[in-house]
Structure 1
Amino acid sequence: MSTPTRPTPRLPRRAASPAPAATTPGRTDDYLRFTAGFRRLTRIDLDQYKRAQMERRIRSFAERRGEPDLGRYLRRLQDDHVELEAFLDRITINVSQLWRNPEQWEVLRDRLIPELAGTGSVRAWSAGCSYGAEAYTLAALLRRQAERGRTFRAEVRGTDIDERMVERAREGRFTAADARDAPLAELRAHFDAEPGGGWRASPALRKLTTFVTGDLLRTSAPRGGFDLVLCRNTVIYFNEDVRDALHARLAAGIRPGGYLVIGATERVADAASLGLQPVQPFIYRKTEA
């Protein structure tokens, strides 16, 4: 650009429009300080989640609790266990139910489980199991397969980052709302009715399941250690790089011929590079190679 040859009249400076709250430097910094402090407090890394969604969720919740300043709200979480529990309920994704997405369970029941049972062993992993609805549904299908005369060894392992959900999963208790889409005959066969319309996984079902606390973003399964991995309705909340790295770790944990089942709104970005071949919508088979 050329330099003017004569002075240019100075116009009054216009006040800058305020930037949106979530992108103002100071606000951004206090969010990052909050996530770092929260990670030290709970070992949950909020920076792995999609930034815009998580920041909006946290700020709106803190403001509704009467504390718009994230620094002060973090100190409140450190000092108030009840408030921390309420916050965890808000930001962790614990939406689940028995037989959620019935069409996927039909494919598991009719195709995947009979095929895997024929090998003599079905080692399954419910990754991001929340309070156990998915793991117990899978265990019920495995028991039903065994009742058809197939002799095979079965085990279901559930992991979740939220210790409270893991403890709840071990109890195996579900509300009437949790069971609203479950086939009644299957409920009666594998669960015990409780007062108030609730259900509890039978002792036989609980014997098939193990639940442990684990962070999917930091831990890996034994290489080829599972025949079947379910990780549904979880990665949609993660950044793309985090999602792809997680899918790679899940795929590595599946033995050749085993299967990965993901959620109906999710995708594996480059399945072939992970040794995964799509066989049904949202279901992938680990190739022999």
Structure 2
Amino acid sequence: MTEADFNFLRMLLHQRSGLSLSAEKRYLAESRLGILCRRRGIEGLVPLMQLLRVGGNAALESAVVEAMTTNETLFFRDHTPFDLFRDVILPEKLAANAATRSLRIWCAAVSTGQEAYSLAMILDDMAGRLAGWKVEIIGTDISSEVLEKARQGAYSQFEIQRGLPIQMLLKHFHQDGDKWQVSERLRAMVTLKQHNLLDPNGHLGQFDVIFCRNVLIYFDVPTKARVLAALAPRLAHDGAFVLGAAETVIGITTTIVPDKEHRSLYRDGRSGKAQTAVPVRPYNPPRAAAIGSLRS
């Protein structure tokens, strides 16, 4: 790939998805797009770039964006956000929403679904306290390919062993050949939609909780500001906004501000109201190393 082609690719990715591809990632682009070429019967990177430069092929442009999007995820990733959800956010929302008995959660970069299903497991374990409540988990992603995998809810042994406690495996999954299938009950709790975080999002409505973890790290500062400006109006004034451990809003926006007590937890900065902290009970799910012994 020539330098001119790579620079064109970087511009295209930024315009279509906000992805900021650094100069040293040319090898990664060549590798991933080489696979795309083989899948689509394109004879190489040169013809691919020629097709992209001509324009007018939205499907090809989307395929290139999907190929270059990182979809690394796992069940209960990093643990802390799920501690916060179970022990801080849910008690707040159960009290605040007692009258409406409704709870809306947005996973705004759901990838192959592990984050949304992890939240669904926590909610299912609290089914007694949520009896009579309307609970919605909306998962969105720019990639149609990963969303299809999320909808299927079927995961390999390797994917299952990455973070999923054995007790939750036994309760919420069943083995189907060489895959582990999420229960129909959990899949019914999660609605999956394709959405680009750079696009208008008003149709999604307002949410009590927004998880937007480990996606801002791929954007430059202006794009981070643009995404956060779009997400802020979707957050209820007493809602909770969760970012990845390596992400922050400091110096980018004041519409979403850090919670004074809890790392990775953010609040609506527009209301100016102080937040009341709830003590966190550490959540340490058992190691999943023994899951392999369950194979038939």
TM-score range, shorter chain: 0.7 to 0.9
Bigger mean CA deviation after superposition, 201-210 or 174-183: 174-183
Aligned to 2:170: 188
Q: Deviations over 1:205-240 (max 9, x none)?
A: 111111111111223245970000101111111111
Q: Match for 2:6 among 11, 23, 31?
A: 31
Contact 2:209 2:235 survives alignment (8 Å): yes
2:49 match: 74
Deviation of the 1:167 alpha carbon: 1.2
> Identity over the aligned pairs, expressed in percent?
26
Match of 1:259 in 2: 240
Question: What one-letter code is carried by the residue in structure 2 that aligns with 1:71?
Answer: V
Q: Which residue of 2 aligns with 1:176?
A: 157
For 1:100, the aligned partner's letter is: R
Query: For structure 2, which runs of at least 5 residues remain unmatched after alignment?
Result: 273-296
Question: SS of the residue aligned with 1:216?
Answer: coil
- Contact 1:34 1:71 (8 Å CA) reproduced: no
Give the RMSD, CA atoms, in angstroms.
3.5
- The question of 1:96 aligning with 2:78 is answered no
Partner of 1:45: 16
User: 3-state SS of the aligned residue for 1:147?
Assistant: coil
Amino acid across the alignment from 1:266: E
Structure 1 counterpart of 2:209, from 228, 233, 236: 228
Contact 1:224 1:254 in 2 (8 A): no
Q: Which one has more relative contact order, counting CA pairs under 8 Å at least 6 apart?
A: 2
**Residues 1:203 and 2:184 are matched in the alignment:** yes
- In terms of mean alpha carbon deviation, does 260-269 or 278-287 score higher? 278-287
Q: How does 1:148-167 map to 2 (within 5 A)?
A: 148=129, 151-167=132-148
Name the amino acid aligned to 2:175.
A
- The reply to whether residue 113 of structure 1 matches residue 95 of structure 2 is no
Indicate if the aligned counterparts of 2:108 and 2:139 stay in contact, CA closer than 8 A: yes
| 1:238-287: CA deviation from partner (whole Å, max 9, x where unpaired) | 11110121122222210111111111111113477204342411111225
Distance of 1:96 and 1:239 partners within structure 2 = 21
Larger Rg over CA atoms: 1
1:123 pairs with 2:104: yes
Aligned with 1:58 (options 29, 54, 60): 29
In structure 1, runs of 5+ residues without a counterpart are: 1-20, 22-26
Q: What corresponds to 1:17 in structure 2?
A: none
Count of residues in correspondence between the two structures: 255
The question of whether the paired residues in 1 share the 8 Å contact of 2:139 and 2:191 is answered with yes
Q: Return the letter of the residue paired with 1:29.
A: A
Mapping of residues 246-285 of structure 1, within 5 Å: 246-270=227-251, 273-278=254-259, 279-285=261-267
Corresponding residue of 2:125? 144
**AA partner of residue 51 (structure 1):** S
Amino acid at match of 2:114: A
Aligned mates of 1:272, 1:89 — CA distance in 2: 28
- Which 4+ runs in 1 deviate beyond 6 A? 63-67, 83-89
Aligned-partner Cα distance in 2 for 1:244–1:44: 15
Separation in 2 of the partners of 1:101 and 1:244? Answer: 24
The answer to whether the Cα contact below 8 Å between 1:163 and 1:213 also exists between their aligned partners in 2 is yes
User: CA separation in 1, counterparts of 2:89 and 2:50?
Assistant: 49
